[in-house]
Amino acid sequence: SIPTVQKKIVLLGQSSVGKSSLVYQFCKGEFFENQEPTIGASFLTKELDFSTHKVSLQIWDTAGQERYESLAPMYYRKAAAALVVFDLNEAYTLNKAKDKIQELSTNGEPNMIITLVGNKCDLERRINSEEVKEYCEENGIMYFETSAKTGKGVEEVFQKISRKFKLPKK
Ligand code: GDP
Ligand code: MG
Tens-digit pLDDT profile for residues 94-128 = 999 999 999 999 999 999 999 999 999 999 989 99
Judge whether 42 and 92 are in contact, CB under 8 Å.
no
Q: How far is CA 100 from CA 89, 104, 149, 151, 152, in A?
A: 18, 6, 24, 25, 24
Residue to mutate (ligand 1; options 12, 16, 21; most atoms within 8 A of CB)? 21
| Rounded Cα distance, 152 and 164, in Å | 21
Residue nearest to atom 25 of ligand 1 (CA): 120
Which atom of ligand 1 is found nearest the CA of 146?
23
- Which residues have any ligand 1 atom within 6 Å of their CB? 15-21, 32-34, 36, 119-120, 122-123, 147-149
Q: Where is pLDDT greater, at 151 or 75?
A: 151
Pocket test for ligand 1, best of 11, 15, 16, 59 (most atoms within 8 A of CB): 16
Residue 37 pLDDT exceeds 70: no
For the ranges 32-46, 73-87, 149-163, the lowest mean pLDDT is seen at 32-46
With beta carbons less than 8 A apart as the criterion, state whether 9 and 82 touch: yes
Please state, in angstroms and rounded to a whole number, the distance separating the CA atoms of residues 158 and 34: 25
Question: Residue 37 in contact with residue 63, Cβ under 8 Å?
Answer: no
Task: Tell me the backbone φ, ψ of residue 139, rounded to 5 degrees.
Answer: -100, 5
% of the chain at pLDDT higher than 70: 94
The pTM of the full predicted model, rounded to 2 decimals, is: 0.94
| β-sheet bridge partners, residue 105 | none
Between the alpha carbon of residue 69 and those of residues 64, 72, 107, 165, 170, the distances in Å are 10, 9, 16, 30, 42
